[in-house]
Homo-oligomer: A and B are copies of this chain.
Amino acid sequence: MQEEKKKKLAMVIFSGDMDKLFAAFSIAAGAAASNMDVTMFFTFWGLRGIKANVKTGKSLFGRMLGVMYGGDINRANPSKMSFGGIGRWMFKKMMKAKNVPSLPELRQTAIDLGVKLYGCQMSMEVMEIPREKMIDDVAECVGVAFFIEQAQKADATLFI
């Protein structure tokens, strides 16, 4: 009964950029802290947000992608001023200097507050990133129909 009355936020996380993931997890954690029910649907580049730090890819292209866009959430670069990793390092420094939580810490907070993480099955197949290459906190790997269902029930929807 109480569950039904909870306000709901449904998010698509398409981007794997450091700054956008930061915005996404901030909003998710903030919404969960405000007693909202939060669903994050990770697709395409966004899969980095829930990937473990392991190699991926089976086919030639899959392995190439795994090398070029590999690593976990810590490897995410900002969408601007990436400078081959310098931007990432710089933003981490700046955030630490202001006592802002790091991206993995922020994700953990979101998870602890009950935010549910879902992987997009189709992009996982195309990018050759199977379930076992992801962090354990991922609830399930689902199709786009799952997101649609969430969005229909949601009070707010965001594509990031």
Residues of A within 8 A of B (CB): 7, 9-10, 12, 14, 19-20, 22-23, 26-27, 30-31, 33-34, 36, 43-45, 59, 61-62, 64-65, 68-69, 79-81, 90-91, 93-95, 97-98, 100, 122, 125-127, 143-145, 147-149, 151-152, 154-160
- Tell me which of B7, B23, B36, B147 contacts A12 (CB under 8 A): B23
Main secondary structure of the interface of A (DSSP, over half): helix
Work out how many copies of this chain go into the complex: 3
* B12–A27 CB distance below 8 A: yes
Inter-chain contact B144/A27, CB cutoff 8 Å: yes
B148, A93: Cβ atoms under 8 Å? no
Of the A-B pairs whose beta carbons lie under 8 Å apart in the complex, a sample of 20, sorted by A's number, is A7-B152, A9-B151, A12-B23, A12-B158, A14-B19, A19-B45, A23-B44, A26-B144, A31-B151, A34-B145, A34-B152, A45-B79, A61-B97, A94-B126, A100-B122, A100-B125, A151-B155, A154-B156, A156-B157, A158-B159
